[in-house]
Amino acid sequence: MVTAMLAPTRWPESRRGLPVTGLPNSVAQLTEPRLLPLANKSCHSSHHLSQNSSDHLQHCISLYQQTNFDQPKSIMTESLENNVSEPFESLNISDSEPIDSSRIDIPAPPSTTNGRKAPAVNLAMSRVDWSRHQFGRARIAYDSYRLDTIKTILRPREQHLSSLKKEGASNDPVMQFLNKKLSDKFTKVSKAIEAHSTICARILETSTHPLIPNLYTGKDPSTSDQAIVRSTIRQLFRDWTVEGSSERDVIFKPILTAIRAIAKNHTKSDSENFAILVPGAGLCRLAVEIAKLAPSADVIANELSYHQILAVHWILSNREARQYAIQPWALQFSNHVSASDQFRSYLVPEENSIIIAPYQQARLDVEGDKVLLRCANLTVTPYDFRQYSNLGYEASMDVVVTAFFLDTAPNVAEYVATIKHVLKTGGTWINAGPLLWNCFENGPAGKLEGDLDDHEAARARQSGSRRFEKLKEQKAFEGKVELAWDEVMELIELMGFRIEVNDPDLGEAGYIMDTDSMLQATYKVGYFQVVKL
């Protein structure tokens, strides 16, 4: 097997939070902190160059200088920025795999450290293959849910109990108490995992597509893929249970009221082209409610994670409501008042697909390099939201709705610019949510699923776009543009919007919060409604 790193074509400022200000011209310049990831990643390959060698660093400089930063992003960069926080992704590709001449060549170093010439090898994927590779990764992560969750969450606790039993006397009343309580708890956790694995199996059943081969080449899904699947199960509570309405209503009600009023102001001819964009849609409950409210509108929900898109497809394919039980707190072991609280069950989905789309069947479509989900007047797309600046959507939207999404921006000005780009003149942007700038895109609580308190769950509520391994070591500063609410409003005005509603205290809401937990974390939700000038 050969493990190779994809060569960079553009430094992804959006992920690193740093602009590209120039090209390195020397080994010394390349070793400055912001360029070290380039040295460590772009040139790490089967050529086994020494990480500290001048030849290795000089080759990195050569690669970097070959980049044309004025050209559009390469075939790979766009997809990479969609799925990982770093500019490179490791691919495992068989040595015997035939090389497709249409693929992009990765320049080989001039020589190895022992002086032998290294052969040029073409290991890059096409844009289409890369997108489907991500689709395959999501499917395999669902397929691995049961075994991985047992291995990651349950087995270590069982092993710890076993070691305690070996250390203590069998007739010790304390040991007997712990053994009984923990054994019973672990049995219930195991049953919850089985119930959730049934849902994962149903998601897999509905996500097959004859035009989408499974291109994931890894033996096992990554840790981040596995965490996103576990967190997606948890987010079903927020989006698709009756009990989750207490979190949703604070956000949904004012948004739907505003859209209803805006839609009434359109003439019949206008309404035929009435278009609404919902970035950061997650499991798409808000987008579905908007599509139901405005059946003649074209509603586009954008969600970066295929893991969540596949779950939405399953939900929209369900003909029976409240058919499956989830236990969203089963993998959390802290802050329970009663032992039974950990295993409370909730039925999903709250509504069946007949109510959502009476005469429409949800389907997965291959369009270009992406897999889209369509159902009635709703389309779900898997882009990085900022790509909408380059996808032919200029002045195409009447309304953009952002909910618990604005603070996922590495640079909020980029989001504002993208929203301005897609809105028609006179179009409305509606926003509701907090300003937790250190959260991450895509997926709730994917950071440390298991022994995870509600506050950390909220902080990690959109963690899918960063690699899990990098989340293990939190940095003091993640390269974010962090503004106060009033500063955000000033920025929005500066960039060409008129403020119609500005309410920094709409109400309080949790995010996948156990209301019976001993730790309660809620957000004070801000709300604004602005019009593009």
The count of structural domains within the chain is 2
Contact 467, 224 (CB under 8 A): yes
Q: Are residues 117 and 154 in the same domain?
A: no
Mean pLDDT of 393-407: 96
Determine the residue type at 365.
D
Alpha-carbon distance 261 to 501, whole Å? Answer: 14
Angle value at C-alpha 309, between 308 and 314, nearest 5 degrees: 95
Number of Cβ within a 10 Å radius of residue 93: 17
Give pLDDT tens digits for 270-293: 545 799 999 999 999 999 999 999
* 131 assigned to some structural domain: no
Among candidate residues 83, 101, 125, the one where a domain is terminated: 125
In angstroms, the CA 409 to CA 150 distance is 34
- Assess if residue 132 is contained within a domain: no
Q: Which residues contact 214 (CB under 8 A, 6 or more apart)?
A: 136, 139, 140
Final residue of a structural domain among 71, 105, 125: 125
Mean pLDDT score, 26-54: 35
- Confidence (pLDDT) at 526: 98
pLDDT one-digit tens code per residue, 88-111: 233 333 333 333 333 323 233 333
Reply yes or no on whether the pLDDT at 531 is more than 50.
yes
pLDDT over 70 for what percent of the chain? Answer: 65
Is 144 found in the same domain as 109?
no
Last residue of a domain, one of 65, 95, 125: 125
Q: Over 60: is that where the pLDDT of 240 sits? A: yes
* Model pLDDT, residue 162: 95
Residue 45 has pLDDT above 60, yes or no: no
Distance CA 477, CA 401 (A): 28
Answer yes or no: do 110 and 165 share one domain: no
Q: What is the pLDDT of residue 391?
A: 87
Here the CATH number for the domain that contains residue 166 is: 3.40.50.150
pLDDT at position 443: 36
Measured CA to CA, the distance from residue 295 to residue 355 in angstroms comes to 13
My answer on whether 295 and 154 are in the same domain is: yes
Residue that wins the pLDDT comparison between 241 and 53: 241
Are both 121 and 90 inside the same structural domain? Answer: yes
- Does 115 reside within a domain? yes
106 and 64 within one domain: yes
Same domain, 119 and 222: no
- When pLDDT is averaged across residues 345-371 and rounded to a whole number, the result is 84
Strands annotated E in 6-153: 90-93
- Of 466, 129, 144, 134, give the one whose Cα is nearest residue 307: 134
3 state SS for 379-437: EEECCCHHHHHHCCCCCCEEEEEEECCHHHCCCHHHHHHHHHHHEEEEEEEEEEECCCC
At residue 218 the predicted structure's pLDDT band, cuts being 50, 70 and 90, is low
- Considering the domain architecture, whether residues 112 and 205 belong to the same structural domain is answered as no
Chain centroid to Cα 172, Å, comes to: 48
Which of 121-135, 174-188, 496-510 bottoms out in mean pLDDT, i.e. has the lowest? 121-135
User: Looking at residue 129, what is its pLDDT?
Assistant: 64
> Looking at residues 134-162, what average pLDDT do you find?
95
Calpha distance 381→374 (Å, rounded): 9
With 90 as the cut, is the pLDDT of residue 22 above it? Answer: no
Mean pLDDT of the chain: 75
* Of 108-122, 266-280, 434-448, minimum mean pLDDT range: 108-122
343 part of a folded domain: yes
Higher pLDDT, 395 or 472: 395
- Least confident among 33-42, 52-61, 369-378: 33-42
Q: With contact defined as beta carbons under 8 Å apart, do 395 and 418 qualify?
A: no
List the single range of 13-22, 133-142, 301-310, 319-328 with lowest mean pLDDT.
13-22
Q: Are residues 113 and 166 in the same domain?
A: no
Residues 322 and 448 in one domain: yes
Confidence of residue 358 (pLDDT cuts 50, 70, 90): confident
Q: Check whether 68 has a pLDDT greater than 90.
A: no
- Classify residue 72 by its DSSP letter: P
How many Å from the N-terminal Cα to the C-terminal Cα in the chain?
56
454 against 248, higher pLDDT? 248
| pLDDT exceeds cutoff 80 at 427 | yes
Determine the pLDDT at residue 161: 96
Statement: residue 444 has pLDDT above 80: no
Instruction: Give the separation between CA 128 and CA 139, rounded to whole angstroms.
Output: 17
Angle at 385 between CA 91 and CA 361, to 5 degrees: 90
Flag whether pLDDT at 450 surpasses 90: no
Give me the pLDDT at residue 110, please.
33
Among 19-23, 472-476, 502-506, the range with the most confident prediction by mean pLDDT is 502-506
Q: Residue 96 falls within a domain, yes or no? A: yes
Q: Please tell me the pTM assigned to this model.
A: 0.72
Query: H-helix or E-strand containing 366?
Result: strand 363-367
pLDDT at 473 over 50: no
User: How many CA atoms are closer than 13 Å to the CA of 176, on its beta-carbon side?
Assistant: 5
* Whether 221 and 287 share a structural domain: yes
Residues 211, 84 share a domain: no
| Across 317-321, average pLDDT | 87
The range of the structural domain enclosing residue 69 comes to 2-125
**77, 10 Cβ separation under 8 angstroms:** yes
Is residue 130 one of the residues assigned to a domain?
Answer: no
